[in-house]
Amino acid sequence: MTIRHHLSDQLLMAYSAGELPEAFGLIVATHLSMCDDCRARAASFDAVGGALVEASSASSGPMDDMLARILSLPQTRAVPQAPRRRTVLPAPLTDYVGGDLDAVRWRSVGMGVKQAILSTDKAATARLLYIPGGQSVPDHGHRGMELTLVLQGAFRDETDRFGPGDVEIASEDVEHTPVAENGEACICLAATDAPLRFRSLIPRLAQPFLRI
């Protein structure tokens, strides 16, 4: 797998800092499971966090009681991990799906396109998309940032081609119409910022697709 579109430093740093909405974190964790280069970059941002802890000036206040409490706790032994069953979906996703690709509860959204919304915190929405080969994804006018990670197949849009492991980072001003390549269906994980709270019905009607 040759990954050409990687995560940005902003995303990796925010992931390391623990500041990403869960849905974006899921995209990052899934990409890291497929891309050792970004995994190493992410670990270097963790090292920045470690340096910040190291550089924190020690807070005052006694901690002897805490030390005594901890030392009274039993230590646990390393449990040999059962080898993971090989799955089509990367490990972080199987946790959210509750199984592999065959366990996804798809809902049709028309023209052969299917989606499954995954349960995450409300700050952003994550969903799996299934796009038959040759089919375009109807314009879905996302707000805020949208991340799309290809799990299987490939799609093209006005900017480039995206294959397995590639991430497209699209800001609000990117108008794109992704089209799945002919052949194998394209399966993606997509995350978008939470929708704005609509006060009238009109913008709601302008968002007919994907209920995001």
Partner 1 sequence: MRLEGEADWSALVLRVRDNADEQAFSQIFAHFGPRVRAFLRKSGATDAQAEECTQDVMSTLWQKAHLYDPGRASVSTWIFTIARNRRIDALRKSRRPEPEDLPWGPEDEPDQADVFEMQQESRRLVDALAELPENQRVLIERAYFGELSHSQIAAETGLPLGTIKSRIRLALDRLRRKMS
User: 117 in helix, strand or coil?
Assistant: strand
We find the least distance from the C-beta atom of residue 116 to partner 1, in angstroms, to be 16
Q: Does 52 bind partner 1 (CB under 8 A)?
A: yes
Q: Is 188 one of the binding residues for partner 1 (CB under 8 A)?
A: no
Side by side, the strands of the sheet bearing 146-152 are 107-110, 113-118, 124-131, 186-193, 146-152, 167-170
Q: Does 88 bind partner 1 (CB under 8 A)?
A: no
Distance between CA atoms of residues 35 and 7, nearest Å? 10
Binding mask 143-182 for partner 1 (x = CB under 8 A): --x-------------------------------------
Q: Which of 1, 2, 5, 32 binds partner 1 (CB under 8 A)?
A: 32
Per CB under 8 A, the list member of 2, 4, 7, 53 interacting with partner 1 is 53
Phi-psi region of 112 (alpha: psi -120 to 50; beta: other; left: phi over 0): left
In whole angstroms, how close is the CB of 12 to partner 1 at the nearest point? 9
DSSP 8-state assignment for residue 2: -
- Of the two residues 50 and 183, which places its CB atom closer to partner 1 in the complex? 50
Nearest distance from residue 98's CB to partner 1, in Å? 14
Q: Does 195 bind partner 1 (CB under 8 A)?
A: no
Q: Which of 189, 35, 175 is nearest to 124 (CA)?
A: 189
Q: Could you tell me the smallest distance in angstroms from the CB atom of residue 111 to partner 1?
A: 30
Using the rule CB under 8 A, is 92 a contact of partner 1? yes
The whole-angstrom separation of Cα 153 and Cα 164 is 6
Q: Which single residue is written with the structure tokens 């995209």?
A: 27
Residue 97 in contact with partner 1, rule: CB under 8 A: no
Beta bridge partners of 147: 169, 191
* Cα gap 179→156, rounded to integer Å: 5
3-state secondary structure 124-163: EEEEEEEECCCCECCCCCCCCCEEEEEEECCEECCCCEEC
Among 1, 78, 201, 202, which residue sits at the site for partner 1 (rule: CB under 8 A)? 78
Q: Minimum distance between the CB of residue 142 and partner 1, rounded to whole angstroms?
A: 14
- Residues in touch with partner 1 (CB under 8 A): 8-11, 13-22, 24-26, 28-30, 32-33, 36-37, 39-61, 63, 66-67, 69-71, 73-78, 80-81, 84, 90-92, 95-96, 121, 123, 145
